[in-house]
Amino acid sequence: MAITLTGTASRVHPDGMSLDPEVSEKAQRRRYSTAYKLRILEEADRATEPGQIGALLRREGLYSSLLASWRQQRRDGTLAGHARGRKGKDQRDTKIEELERDNARLAKKLDQAETIISVQKKLSRLLGIEQTTDTDTES
């Protein structure tokens, strides 16, 4: 009786590459085209007999939750997917940011003006210079 050893070295991919049982360094997210999603959904919709959808999912390597989410996306009209990345700012947000910057700039300017006025008042008191107030100029 001959014993055959089956290890990783004896396993070869049809392309001639050896199969590595190790997990790849970084997992890649699977992406599906809109045409593929529609084809799978149509095939699932045509399934009439028990077990046909399960066979389809096993054959394609998909989960039933993925099929359910694609059906929901088809109902919502968002099956093509969402644009990735940052969303663009609308004009309202841009205007709010501009006004907040202006407000901060003006608040800083006001604080400087109040500081200058305070210093001038103290200096005039030290030098004995008479200050005119708003009530003196109005009467």
Asked if the structure places residue 14 within a domain, the reply is no
Query: Token pair for residue 98?
Result: 């501009």
**Parent domain of 57:** 34-76
Asked if the structure places residue 109 within a domain, the reply is yes
Asked if the structure places residue 18 within a domain, the reply is no
Q: What is the pLDDT of residues 89-127, one digit of tens each?
A: 788 888 999 999 999 999 999 999 999 999 999 999 888
Asked if the structure places residue 38 within a domain, the reply is yes
Q: pTM of whole model > 0.85?
A: no
Q: What is the pLDDT of residues 11-41, one digit of tens each?
A: 454 555 555 667 667 878 888 888 999 999 9
Cα first-last separation, the chain? 124
pLDDT of res. 113:
96
Asked if the structure places residue 58 within a domain, the reply is yes
Residue type, 42: E
